[in-house]
Structure 1
Amino acid sequence: MKRIVCFGPGPKFKGGISNYNTSLAKALDKIVGVDVHIVSWTNQYPSIVPREFVDKTSKLDFLEGTDIKVKYITDYNKPGSWKKTADYIMDLDPDIVIFQWAIAIQGLPMGRIAKRIRNNSAAEVIFDLHFVIQKEASSLDKKFTKRGIKHADTYITHAYKTVDELRELFPDMKIDVNETGQRSDDPLDKTVIKLYHPIYDLFEPDPKFDVPAFKAEHNIAKNAFLFFGFIRKYKGLHHAIKAFKIVADKRDDVTFMICGESFWNTLSQDKFSTKVKNALFGIAKKIFLSKSSNEKDYNPLALIEELGLQDRVMLVNSFIPNEDVHKYFQTADAAVLYYEYATPSGIESLSYNFELPLLATKVGHFPETIDDGYNGYLAEAEDVEDMANVMMKFLDKPLDPKNVEEKTREMSWANYAKAIIGVNS
């Protein structure tokens, strides 16, 4: 029996990394002879971060029907829990421990946990890298990232861009890159398994869902573009809304569905505790973040009224419960990812699961996964006119959803899991 621990946010948390960690655990659980444990945070960030991270709305249990065990134990704000986490994991006597690495601020606890496991057990320590160069420009990012991920035996990346970033961060590290999961025979080499962001299977289309009725209920036009997920500045929603305005002025058969929670607006702003957190977090950001990286006041939704798009936009500005996700993807004709910069995107993966073509910018990994004119269209980053042209191109030359299926056929969780444990697919 091979035992594997997936360290990262458990299924009670919001967001893509929780979904990712859960999906990975489920894929591993399906392999005969594998025993899977999720070891999770109880609190992922410093207490001053003014945000609600726990999913309090979804009723769907992603782990139903599995043998996966979940332990919530790691509190960012209690260093004693870091040692308890490492000791708990070592008591499980795992063969592999997979850390989900997605934000630099977690480098201190994750680095401590990984180091203790690597120095005191025979487990292979793997870091699944969703980024290396952090999106926000913190002066401490590089230090936290180095501290967080340096104790890995093996790395997983989802794009060659991330491999290049790893080389940049550790210029003296000898790296052996492959796409199969084979570990290097040289003990001085670090194995990097370049894989992909697998296609989410947590969310499935509902064959009984009545799309025409949903469109009629919400006044959605014949052609619907979709922005989905947390509203963050780097995702470029402000550009997408301006581009859609150009399209809406030319076409009366289009709707922009904007569905997601404003990342920094999840707590009641009237509470004293929220005001204290906002004040402390504001001070911390002024110290560690450049002014351009401070997105607390980022509000692209104001553009809807400013540009007179109230009747052309369907807005759901809240966290979408897991059981409702399918409605928006089944209704849309294309997903819009006009990011300013990008690491592999959970929304991209989620779109593929619904055979939804992508309209994206030429940043990050998107040119690796999107064949322009086949499974999506690519626009120049931060060029609103070009983004609008791409939306018009999609309306004039729609893409066959079967192209999306063909492009992503090999990007399954099953293949991903087999590569991790060294089983050829």
Structure 2
Amino acid sequence: MGPALGYIARRIRRNRHTRVVAITDNVIPHEKRPGDRPLTRYFLSACHGFVTMSRSVLADLRRLHFKQPAQYQPHPLYDNFGALKAKPVALQALQLDPTFGYLLFFGFIRAYKGLDILLEAFGDARLRELPVKLIIAGEYYEDAAPYEALIKQYDLESRLVRATDFIPNEKVADYFCAADMVVQPYKNATQSGVSQIAYHFERPMLVTDVGGLAELIPDGEVGYVVKPTPIAIADALVDFYEHQRESELAAGVWAKKKEFSWSEMVAALKAVAG
């Protein structure tokens, strides 16, 4: 998209009064390809300013020597998936057994999102003793074979809920509201829209300490921030269930979510537009 967006931005600037501001999720793509940097530079050099979704992206801009006005502003809540539902209602909608607890991995399944790490963590002997299942809700973006091999290796089939087809918007609330906690075991990241959906539905979160993920998840207040390793993830999941921390962390999420408003995003866009 770099050539197209760069061309459009330059055409717009010709009127000498319209300001071009980029909302940047990533500056450097997760999956690198030849030509990424020159094409990215072509687009970014046509912008008057930037609003970044994480501090790590702001740092990437500076490393690339872009000096236009830039400001970090977390994405507002994704509140377009409907209202919160009571957990029993969501479980019934998904036809899930309410005698189990459920963890949610949500979104496209891509290598950098670390589902393989989570599956290895779920093979931990301590977790096998708990009445907990993992919901995998999202389409495969790549070959499923490596994940299937891990499921077989750790004998996880009976402990999984597979929803690896397209998830329509009207079903998103059910998956989040049925979950005890949302798990994002990413290997690298800048930020994730999944966090803002989880905030909307007031669900505790576990994220790995990569990129900008931890910026939005105060460790011990709204969830866990851990190293991207199976043992670190397993330790946190065991702590969550053994100490029954869902209510405590959900209350922290409810308090924190008030910071992510659309008015703050609009103010940031105006500030960098100049």
Pair in the same fold by TM > 0.5: yes
Q: Tell me, yes or no, if the aligned pair for 1:204 and 1:353 is still in contact at 8 Å.
A: no
Partner in structure 2 of residue 254 of structure 1: 132
Paired letter, 2:59: D
Partner in structure 2 of residue 361 of structure 1: 208
Q: How does 1:191-206 map to 2 (within 5 A)?
A: 191-206=69-84
Kindly provide the CA deviation profile for residues 142-180 of structure 1, in whole angstroms up to 9, marking residues without a partner as x: 11111121110011112221111001112xx43xxxxxx
Deviation at 1:214, TM superposition (A): 4.3
Q: Quick one: higher RCO (CA 8 Å, sep 6+), 1 or 2?
A: 2
* Structure 2 residue 236 is the aligned partner of structure 1 residue 387: no
* Structure 2 residue 201 is the aligned partner of structure 1 residue 372: no
Aligned length: 267
Q: Tell me, yes or no, if the aligned pair for 1:198 and 1:349 is still in contact at 8 Å.
A: yes
Moved more, 356-365 or 403-412: 403-412
* Structure 2 residue 89 is the aligned partner of structure 1 residue 213: no
Q: 1: CA distance between counterparts of 2:17 and 2:225?
A: 45
| Larger relative strand fraction | 1
1:229 to 107, 114, 124: 107
Alpha-carbon spacing, 1:258–1:220, altered in 2? closer, same or farther (3 Å)? farther
Q: Tell me, yes or no, if the aligned pair for 2:77 and 2:199 is still in contact at 8 Å.
A: yes
Q: How does 1:399-410 map to 2 (within 5 A)?
A: 399=246, 400=248, 401-410=250-259
Q: 2: CA distance between counterparts of 1:212 and 1:129?
A: 36
Partner in structure 1 of residue 7 of structure 2: 112
Q: 2: CA distance between counterparts of 1:143 and 1:336?
A: 34
Deviation at 1:358, TM superposition (A): 0.8
* Structure 2 residue 141 is the aligned partner of structure 1 residue 263: yes
Q: 2: CA distance between counterparts of 1:325 and 1:377?
A: 22
Flag the structure with larger Rg: 1
Alpha-carbon spacing, 1:139–1:168, altered in 2? closer, same or farther (3 Å)? same
Q: Tell me, yes or no, if the aligned pair for 1:247 and 1:392 is still in contact at 8 Å.
A: no
Indicate the SS of the match to 2:147: coil
Deviation at 1:129, TM superposition (A): 0.6
Instruction: Give the TM-score normalised by the residue count of structure 2.
Output: 0.90
Name structure 1 gaps, 5 residues minimum: 1-105, 175-189, 265-295
Deviation at 1:368, TM superposition (A): 1.5
1:416 to 244, 249, 265: 265
Deviation at 1:220, TM superposition (A): 5.8
Q: How does 1:17-416 map to 2 (within 5 A)?
A: 106-170=1-65, 173-174=66-67, 190-207=68-85, 210-214=89-93, 217-219=95-97, 221-246=99-124, 249-264=127-142, 299-381=146-228, 383-397=229-243, 398-399=245-246, 400=248, 401-416=250-265
Q: 2: CA distance between counterparts of 1:212 and 1:363?
A: 31
Q: 2: CA distance between counterparts of 1:201 and 1:225?
A: 21
Q: Tell me, yes or no, if the aligned pair for 1:337 and 1:358 is still in contact at 8 Å.
A: yes
Deviation at 1:248, TM superposition (A): 6.2
Deviation at 1:212, TM superposition (A): 4.7
Deviation at 1:219, TM superposition (A): 3.5
Deviation at 1:251, TM superposition (A): 2.2
Deviation at 1:121, TM superposition (A): 4.3
Q: 1: CA distance between counterparts of 2:24 and 2:201?
A: 25
Kindly provide the CA deviation profile for residues 85-135 of structure 1, in whole angstroms up to 9, marking residues without a partner as x: xxxxxxxxxxxxxxxxxxxxx111111111111123411100111011221
Paired letter, 2:70: V
Aligned residues: percent identity?
31
Q: 2: CA distance between counterparts of 1:254 and 1:245?
A: 12
Indicate the SS of the match to 2:104: strand
Partner in structure 2 of residue 283 of structure 1: none
Q: 2: CA distance between counterparts of 1:211 and 1:147?
A: 46
Name structure 2 gaps, 5 residues minimum: none
Q: Tell me, yes or no, if the aligned pair for 1:248 and 1:254 is still in contact at 8 Å.
A: no
Coordinate RMSD, CA, aligned: 2.0
Kindly provide the CA deviation profile for residues 273-295 of structure 1, in whole angstroms up to 9, marking residues without a partner as x: xxxxxxxxxxxxxxxxxxxxxxx
Q: 2: CA distance between counterparts of 1:139 and 1:108?
A: 14
Alpha-carbon spacing, 1:247–1:351, altered in 2? closer, same or farther (3 Å)? farther
Paired letter, 2:140: S
Q: Tell me, yes or no, if the aligned pair for 1:197 and 1:344 is still in contact at 8 Å.
A: no
Q: 2: CA distance between counterparts of 1:162 and 1:126?
A: 15
Deviation at 1:344, TM superposition (A): 1.4
Q: Tell me, yes or no, if the aligned pair for 1:131 and 1:162 is still in contact at 8 Å.
A: yes
Alpha-carbon spacing, 1:261–1:337, altered in 2? closer, same or farther (3 Å)? same
Paired letter, 1:168: R
Q: 1: CA distance between counterparts of 2:82 and 2:126?
A: 30
Deviation at 1:331, TM superposition (A): 0.3
Kindly provide the CA deviation profile for residues 20-55 of structure 1, in whole angstroms up to 9, marking residues without a partner as x: xxxxxxxxxxxxxxxxxxxxxxxxxxxxxxxxxxxx
